[in-house]
Amino acid sequence: MPLAELIQGGKLLIAVAADIEARAVIAATPMHAPDPLPQWQLIPLTATTDLVITGVGKAPAAGAVARVLNASHKLVLSTGIAGTYGHLPLLATIAATHSILADEGVATPTGFDDLTALGFAPSPHGLHIPTDPRALEALRPHCTHTGPIATVSTCSGTDTLARAVSTRTGALAEAMEGAAVALVAERLSVPFAELRVISNTTGDRPNQTWRMREALSTLTSVIGSVLKGV
């Protein structure tokens, strides 16, 4: 299904965390970026697309999207850059099959007990919130990969943490907002999707490889491609 059919009669809401991601998205449109860019406010991009800059992390992402989401929005797309657990190359583009609340729970001497295991599942799907299948179908042609993306509060700056989160969740990459946005969209009965560009490796911080500038340029290209179908 093309995105245009999914949002027919309404709008796409794009949620990004940081100014650099917002400017990369805006660069895919004819719009001139305001300076400074406002957070937690709707920024109209086109007749069928709005943007919101949430700030970094789960709480700002959930709060901002809940604040601006309205009846005109037929799809919420969380997008930006992400780190790979080693399964994806730098500058790969990935559409999430699931967005995972990866570190919500309790660390114990015998392992990690997540919220679902503790009896506090945040969603009917537990911590693995699925992408709307129609949105995933529409995004698939624009991405090099699909798969689970972890949403973390603490990024994996050690090999130990990267292995633990990747093994526990099955995620291919990590970011800091997607599943929080997914939870808001699910609660408000709005379809959700997540699309990321791999900007860096995870693991021991001194050994990480980063290609931030190229990743942001790739984000502009892929969002431009997506928006042609809206």
Q: What is the pLDDT of residues 140-158, one digit of tens each?
A: 999 999 999 999 999 999 9
> Which stretches does DSSP call E strand in 109-217?
111-114, 128-130, 145-151, 173-175, 192-201
Q: Is the pLDDT of residue 69 over 80?
A: yes
Instruction: Please state the pTM of the whole predicted model.
Output: 0.97
The more confidently predicted of residues 59 and 5 is: 59
Residue 60 near residue 178, CB atoms below 8 Å: no
Structure tokens at 89: 């190359």
Residue 136 near residue 147, CB atoms below 8 Å: no
Q: Which of 6-10, 192-196, 205-209 has the lowest mean pLDDT?
A: 6-10
Ramachandran class of 105: left when φ > 0, alpha when ψ lies in -120 to 50, beta otherwise:
left
What are the b/e assignments for 130-146, b being 16+ CB within 10 Å? Answer: bbbebbbebbeebbebb
Residue 60 near residue 29, CB atoms below 8 Å: no
Q: Is the pLDDT of residue 2 over 90?
A: no
Structural domain spans, the chain: 3-227
Q: Which fold has domain 3-227?
A: Rossmann fold (3.40.50)
pLDDT at 33: 86
pLDDT at 53: 98
Q: What DSSP character marks residue 32?
A: P
Average pLDDT value for residue range 170-178: 98
Average pLDDT, the chain: 96
Residues 6, 134: Cα–Cα separation, whole Å: 7
Residue 100: pLDDT band with limits 50, 70, 90: very high
